[in-house]
């Protein structure tokens, strides 16, 4: 590490990939896209940039910081894409390839990790520790909390995340257990109810959940897909960068969704 004064510490692409895989164990998940190295860049990495999504804005920010690799939660490739390299996809790939930047993406493995994952880190930001996992692939987290009602809980979440939230509030009920799952996990609401939660916090809401909240008497809070998922990437990339002695910067690209 003392070498940092003269030249930056660097690691090989393989070492970085192995460190991410060892931490996040992608082989344990059934996912919607490839986890790990999605776009191959230069063989040596001294500077790592992390962000939530491999958007053009994030790639441009990584170029400005002379990054050798990017680590994201939402990569470029998903099941259901038609595979054409046109328009926005062409531009994102063109920039990565032109600047020889490696793109690493970890989706569900980053949601699930018990310390650096999105769910664990959202719990940290909101002051909650999970004592239970629920839902498909055990991605949902649940634990004790104490709020006089759903509005008090929603106010707490809004304040902690610095943005307005959508609350569907059933009849007044003390909140003693909360369940949460970051991002677009509105489909986990019923398993959160089955797990005994008084309230469920995720990123997004769809039409059916409002009715379920009222009919089942469990509060639903949508606090933003991006806002709930911006804590895992810097935690995971920061830990790996620290282990390997390379430079790391998290770049926040605001997203109202």
Closest to Zn ion by CB, 229 vs 247, is: 229
- CB neighbourhood size of 98 (10 A): 9
Q: At a CB cut-off of 8 Å and minimum separation 6, what does 80 contact?
A: 32
| CA gap 224, 214 in Å, rounded | 21
Q: Kindly indicate which of the ranges 29-37, 56-64, 177-185, 243-251 contains the residues binding Zn ion, using the contact rule CB under 5 A.
A: 177-185
In DSSP terms, 141 is beta-bridged to 133, 180
Q: Which of 140, 183, 224, 234 contacts Zn ion by CB under 5 A?
A: 183
User: How many residues belong to the site for Zn ion (CB under 5 A)?
Assistant: 2
- CB neighbourhood size of 224 (10 A): 23
> How far apart are CB 74 and Zn ion at their closest, in Å?
6
> How far apart are CB 188 and Zn ion at their closest, in Å?
13
Closest to Zn ion by CB, 109 vs 183, is: 183
**Subset of 114-143 contacting Zn ion (CB under 5 A):** none
26 binds Zn ion (CB under 5 A): no
- Could you tell me the CA-to-CA distances from 191 to 142, 181, 222, 250 in Å, in that order? 11, 11, 16, 33
> How far apart are CB 127 and Zn ion at their closest, in Å?
22
Q: Kindly indicate which of the ranges 2-10, 13-21, 176-184, 211-219 contains the residues binding Zn ion, using the contact rule CB under 5 A.
A: 176-184
Nearest residue to Zn ion, by Cβ distance, number only = 183
**Subset of 228-257 contacting Zn ion (CB under 5 A):** 229
> How far apart are CB 111 and Zn ion at their closest, in Å?
8
> How far apart are CB 80 and Zn ion at their closest, in Å?
15
Torsion angle in degrees (nearest 10) through CA of 35, 36, 39, 43: 180
- CB-based contact 201:182 (threshold 8 Å): no
Q: What is the DSSP-derived secondary structure letter of residue 197?
A: -
Closest to Zn ion by CB, 116 vs 246, is: 116
Q: At a CB cut-off of 8 Å and minimum separation 6, what does 215 contact?
A: none
Q: Applying CB under 5 A, which residues contact Zn ion?
A: 183, 229
């Amino acid at each position: 590490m003392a070498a940092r004064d003269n030249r930056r510490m660097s690691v090989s692409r393989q070492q970085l990939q192995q460190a991410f895989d060892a931490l996040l164990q992608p082989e344990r998940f059934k996912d919607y896209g490839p986890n790990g190295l999605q776009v191959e860049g230069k063989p040596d990495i001294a500077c790592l940039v992390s962000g939530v999504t491999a958007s053009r804005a994030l790639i441009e920010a990584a170029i400005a910081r002379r990054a050798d690799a990017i680590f994201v939660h939402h990569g470029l490739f998903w099941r259901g894409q038609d595979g054409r390299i046109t328009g926005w996809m062409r531009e994102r790939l063109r920039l990565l390839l032109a600047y020889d930047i490696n793109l690493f993406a970890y989706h569900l493995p980053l949601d699930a990790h018990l310390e650096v994952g999105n769910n664990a880190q959202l719990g940290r930001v909101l002051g909650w520790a999970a004592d239970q996992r629920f839902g498909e692939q055990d991605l949902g987290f649940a634990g004790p909390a104490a709020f006089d009602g759903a509005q008090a809980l929603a106010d707490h979440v809004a304040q902690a995340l610095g943005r307005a939230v959508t609350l569907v509030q059933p009849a007044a009920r003390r909140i003693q257990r909360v369940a949460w799952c970051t991002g677009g996990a509105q489909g986990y609401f019923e398993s959160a109810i089955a797990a005994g939660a008084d309230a469920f916090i995720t990123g997004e809401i769809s039409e059916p959940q409002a009715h379920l909240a009222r009919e089942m008497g469990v509060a639903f809070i949508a606090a933003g897909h991006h806002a709930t998922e911006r804590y895992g990437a810097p935690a995971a990339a920061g830990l790996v960068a620290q282990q390997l002695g390379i430079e790391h910067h998290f770049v926040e690209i605001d997203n109202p969704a």
